[in-house]
Structure 1
């Protein structure tokens, strides 16, 4: 049942397309440039939500490509009970190594 609900949410709310390890593209909910109540840049300025089944094994430090732009997973990956995960990301500079 969770998989069916996750697929429906993903189809309706996805606003970007991601790939992981060169696999098939999948829809994600992507947010960039969030500010805190005080106007400074909030922690997790770049965020992405997705069903972890789309990227099994995804972990902190891995690269996720969203709309053709590489991002590094900047915090531990902790899915909720339904299998969705909210990721904090850091944009990678093209040609930069990560780790």
Structure 2
């Protein structure tokens, strides 16, 4: 069981970390600079992922499916921010329970 946050800036992972959850936090980002910053955030394991046109939620699911840290059938909470039409700022607008 873990928390997986796909974030372009790392803000969501930092907010989750500030609550000091008992579960590990995986911060997924396509930005190498964000990965470097996330290395210094409590409880966060940053992972560099490829930039694609795929939805943020789908990329997080693919990461969990391919990551050996998660056992089959394990539940993972995924947070992501999927842009919507007319949206100026990006923010987390999806929270999902995903089973590997």
TM range (shorter): under 0.3
Q: Which of the pair is proportionally richer in strand?
A: 1
Larger radius of gyration: 1
User: TM-score w.r.t. structure 1 length?
Assistant: 0.26
User: TM-score w.r.t. structure 2 length?
Assistant: 0.26
Higher relative contact order (CA 8 A, sep 6+): 2
